[in-house]
Amino acid sequence: MSWLLALPIAIPFLTAVATFLTRDMPVGRWLSIIGSAILLAASIVLMNTVLREGVIAGQMGGWAAPFGITLVADLLSAVMVLITAIVAVAVSIYALADVDEKMERLGYHALFNMLIAGVVGAFVTGDLFNLYVWFEVMLIASFGLLVLGGRPEQIDGGVKYVALNLVSTIMFLTGIGLLYGMTGTLNMADLASAVDTADQQLLTVVAVLFMIAFGVKAAVFPLFFWLPASYHTPAFSVSAVFAGLLTKVGVYALLRMFTLVFDHDTAFTHTILLWVAGFTMVVGVLGAAAQSDMRKILSFHIVSQIGYMILGLALLTPLAIVGAVFYLVHHIVVKANLFLIAGVAQRIAGGTELSRIGGLYKSAPFLAVLFVIPAFSLAGFPPLSGFWAKFLLVKATLEIEAWFIAFIALAVGLLTIYSMTKIWAQAFWEPHPDGVEPKLSKLSTRERNAFLIPIAGLAILTVIIGTMPEPFVQFAERSAAQLLDPTPYITAVLGEQP
């Protein structure tokens, strides 16, 4: 078990080492793809095992929980690892055409793989401090990737990104210190029961501190500023990974901690989350409406969509958690893909600023098709993945008669449509202002393949989730059941409790 859990972390690290040592050679990029593929294989095995055997845990160093560090995978963790691997494969292929040699020599592949390692680590760890460590791995790698290339706007975005994320990191660390000081343990499964004997009032306060720390990572209102300030600046491969994965780690952490550990005063904590969700959705989507750059629009939409996931957590009904889990998976696939597409648009049409480009529908119809799928999935059109995600959440809100938040969720959906059609109308339909014909044939065959294969792959995944949602819904249901009743999780980590 322990190997199954450790390999998804070890593989990207080994890949990083290999790519770094070969960074002056052209094999680095292929190593990166191979490494991601192996990671994918490992995560499929992991997923398969979790599906078959339920929650699995491995004690690192062979030290029993809660003394050593436990890696643990329930369905949520497993699917997050799997989806991370999928995105990693897609982006490392995409990088063949997107990342130039200069960036490669500066260690792009190593940073990328370490970022993936950090993300995976955060998903499979069962230890709070270890979670902090993986957050940092991820964070520092993202710092590097964000500014790689060193264009002035990258630096500007980087300053904001770094500053605000550092604040969050420190708060997280402080929170860990306080929680340890209250309970004497760091193992999350152990914490679940240890908090029961702690001072409940104080626990609520610490919970809020964690909520804020993770809230920054997840980019919720009013802590999301770093995201729209920076996500449009780095290389497209980079922003695709960021858009797909990074905020989701924050959401994952919230989901985990606020179902497993901080479930003592949900009337308070989850009500806050509900408000946060509402504001996040609205502010994000309005932010997007105010933008005129493709990547900026997409960035603000990340914020908005995070609101939906938080909404699922806030409602805390089985169906709502199902929705949140489904949303999480759907959004990673779709949002990463949209950023990848933006990269192709930039390459062939000459930019991402909507008023400066156009003609993609006429000249690059295949790209248009590939755009429509994730874009309308994001907007929640059936039968694409986003529809089911939204459907589940709206159903969950309506079931508990939370009319207002349901209205918000739906209205935000409408504004999402507005934004997606804005991109569609201005970048695809509208003729190019300079009369350029942005054809895909401008790209070399190698570039075209590297760009379009991952995009098409993710688009197909979106369609598959959308048209055959049953296994995914079932999966999300099982996953939600595990989150809402963490007994198997705790048992897997700590063994049978008296």
Partner 1 sequence: MNSVILRAGTSYLAGLLLVFSVYMMLRGHNEPGGGFIGGLTGATGFVLYAIGCSVGEARKALRVLPQTIAIWGLFIALAAGLFAAVFGDALFTGQWLFIGETEDDKGLPLSSVLVFDIGVYLVVFGSVLTLVFAMEEEI
Partner 2 sequence: MEVLFAITIGVLVAASVYLMLSNHLLRFIFGLVLISNAANLTIFVAGRLTDGAPPLIPVGADAPEIAANALPQALVLTAIVIGFGLFAFAIVLVFRAWTSLNSLTPDEMRLAEPEEAHK
Partner 3 sequence: MADGAATDARGNGITGVIPILFAGALFVYFMSLVPTVASLEAIRWSVPWIPSLGIEFAFLVDGLSLTFCLLIAGIGTLVLLYSNTYLAGHPQYARFALFLTAFMVSMLGLVLADDLILLFVFWELTTLTSYMLIGFSHEAEKSRRNALQALFVTGAGGLAFLAGLILLAAASGTTSISGIIAQGDGLKAHAMYLPILILLLAGTFTKSAQVPFHFWLPNAMAAPTPVSAFLHSATMVKAGVYVMARMHPAMSGTDVWLWTLTILGAITAVFASLLSLRQTDLKQALAYTTLMALGTLTLFLGQESGYAMTAFATFLIVHSLYKAALFLIVGCIDKSTGTRETDQLGGLGRLMPITAIAAALAATSMAGFPPFLGFIGKELKYAGAIAVASEPIFVAGAVLLSNALMLAVAGVVAFRPFWRGQVGTGQSPKEAPWQMLAGPVILAILGALFGIYPDLLQVALVNPTVLSLTGEVEEAKELQLWAGVNIPLFLSIATFVLGLAIYAAHVKIRAMLDRGFNAIPNLDLKWDGFLDGLKALAAWQTRLVQTGKLSSYLFATFFTIAAGIILTLAYTGMPPLAADFSDVEWKHTSIAALICAGALLTLFTSSRIAAIAALGVVGIGIALIFIVFSAPDVAITQLLVETLIVVLVAVVMLRLPSLPKATFNLKHAVLSVAVGASITLMLIEVVATPLDLRLTEYFEVTSWPEAYGRNIVNVILVDFRALDTFGEIAVVVIAALSAYALLRTTRKGDQQ
> Where on the chain is the footprint of Na ion (CB under 5 A)?
192, 354, 358, 426, 430
DSSP bridge pairs for 57: 72
Closest distance between partner 2 and the C-beta of residue 372, in Å? 26
**Which of residues 15, 32, 36, 59 is near partner 1 by CB under 8 A?**
59
| Helix H or strand E encompassing 477 | helix 470-484
Nearer to partner 1, 58 or 307 (CB): 58
Query: Which structure tokens are listed for 376?
Result: 């309308």
Quick one: which of 100, 383, 433, 460 contacts partner 3 (CB under 8 A)?
383
**Which residues in the 120-179 window bind partner 3 by CB under 8 A?**
121, 125, 127, 129-130, 133-134, 136-137, 140-141, 143-145, 147-152, 159-160, 163-164, 167-168, 171, 174, 177-178
Please pick, from the candidates 81, 86, 87, 110, the single residue that binds partner 1 as defined by CB under 8 A: 110
Looking at residue 64, the DSSP 8-state letter turns out to be P
In this structure, is the dihedral angle defined by the CA atoms of residues 224, 329, 131 and 209, taken in order, positive or negative?
A: positive
Exposed, middle or buried by CB within 10 Å (0-12, 13-18, 19+), for 243?
A: buried
8, 28, 287, 312: residue in contact with partner 3 (rule CB under 8 A):
287
Q: How far is the CB of 180 from partner 3 (least distance, A)?
A: 8
Q: Return the one option of partner 3, Na ion, partner 1, none that residue 14 interacts with (CB less than 5 to 8 A, by type).
A: partner 1
Q: Residues with Cβ < 8 Å from 335, sequence gap 6 or more?
A: 243, 244, 298, 301, 302, 305, 374, 378
Residues in CB range of 314: below 8 A, 6 or more apart: 270, 271, 273, 274, 276, 277, 320
Quote the least distance from Cβ 351 to partner 2, whole Å: 14
Residues in contact with partner 1, counted by CB under 8 A, come to a total of 17
Longest CA span, the chain: 74
Shortest reach from residue 383's CB to Na ion, in Å: 29
Q: Rounded to the nearest whole angstrom, what is the least distance from the CB of residue 492 to partner 3 in the complex? A: 18
By CB under 8 A, is residue 49 in contact with partner 1?
A: no
Residue 416 beta carbon to Na ion: minimum distance, rounded to whole angstroms = 20
Strands (E), 356-464: none
Binding to partner 3 by CB under 8 A, coded x per residue (else -) over 86-105, reads: ----------------x---
| Cβ at position 10, least distance to partner 1 in Å | 6
Distance of alpha carbon 198 from alpha carbon 195, whole angstroms? 5
| Binding mask of the shown chain, residues 62 to 91, with x at each position contacting partner 1 by CB under 8 A | x-----------------------------
3-state secondary structure at position 125: strand
Shortest Å, Cβ 326 to partner 1? 32
Rg (CA), the chain: 21
Distance CA 182, CA 217 (A): 24
Q: Does 381 bind partner 3 (CB under 8 A)?
A: yes
* CB closer to partner 2 out of 231 and 361: 231
For residues 308 to 347, the per-residue mask of contacts with partner 3, x marking binding by CB under 8 A and - elsewhere, is ----------------------------------------
Among 20, 30, 129, 143, binds partner 1 (CB under 8 A): 20
Which residues partner with 56 through β-bridges? 73
Tokens 């994918």 map to which residue? 40
Beta bridge partners of 187: 127
- Between CA 297 and CA 380 the distance in angstroms is 16
Can you tell me the distance from the alpha carbon of 212 to that of 262, in angstroms, rounded to the nearest whole number? 13
Name the residue nearer to partner 1 (CB basis): 2 or 204.
Answer: 2
For the chain, the straight-line distance linking the first and the last C-alpha, in angstroms and rounded, comes to: 24
CB atoms within 10 A of CB 28: 23
What is the closest distance, in whole angstroms, from the C-beta atom of residue 444 to partner 3 in the complex?
25
Binding site for partner 1 (CB under 8 A): 2-3, 6, 10, 13-14, 16-17, 20-21, 58-62, 107, 110
